[in-house]
Structure 1
């Protein structure tokens, strides 16, 4: 994509985000819980799927401490992302008030917000990997079973979603 097309796309995004910010009431605080999880597990990573099975893992005191640090890092990354997004919406709204948009500034704001969010999410991800590395072979086997079951449930949900949006797969019998 050439630079002019990118700036036009960024400008369009900025206008849409700004319009959304003006029309959307502020989101209620989530208290570190993922909004789509009934069990309140944090984030999206495989180990985070294990929150409801944590007791079965029988974590040692040291492992529990690492788990809590990883949860805290995930919560902090989520909160920082929400805060940065709110700040970005405010900045974009201010840019919209100008007679002539500064697309380079808008692009820079969006890119900075994305990079900061990725860095914080990566740090939380590293902590979850450290938790997994600390597990015994038996704990890893148990964790793997539950993660695989969670992935299978996700696959089923995605298949239902695609069937709903895309219709039946090619060659499927018509009912």
Structure 2
């Protein structure tokens, strides 16, 4: 059987082996953290899994997996760690891309400003054309700067959403580890 994608394969394994629907559980966690949810994500929530406090969410997770034996809990913890490892490289790629774009913007901006200054120096004789060039360049800079800000905000949002996934997986794994320690006592 051909796999659709690595991520879908990993997530479907979680549903079939551990009753762990990543998208549903992550949506519950996002609601708990007060993050913005899409219309599709709101469909995962109901009164039984909309938590305002961490302890309520922890109780929900513990109740869900309390009947698992220690072997299955150990495997589930390894599964959670595997998901975490597959998500972390994607976050690192976004950080590198973000750094490269910010560097490019700064270098390009300094170059453009120095070019405009040299153009203005050459046009000092003709004051009217100098003023037109100045206002035109200011308008273009405002448009370009606004576009760059929007682009940077999109990158920042992508980086922080990756952090939330990592925190979710760490919290989930911590709860499972506590449950596992209690079973081993």
Provide TM-score, normalisation by structure 1.
0.40
Name the structure with the higher helix share. 2
Larger Rg: 2
Provide TM-score, normalisation by structure 2.
0.38
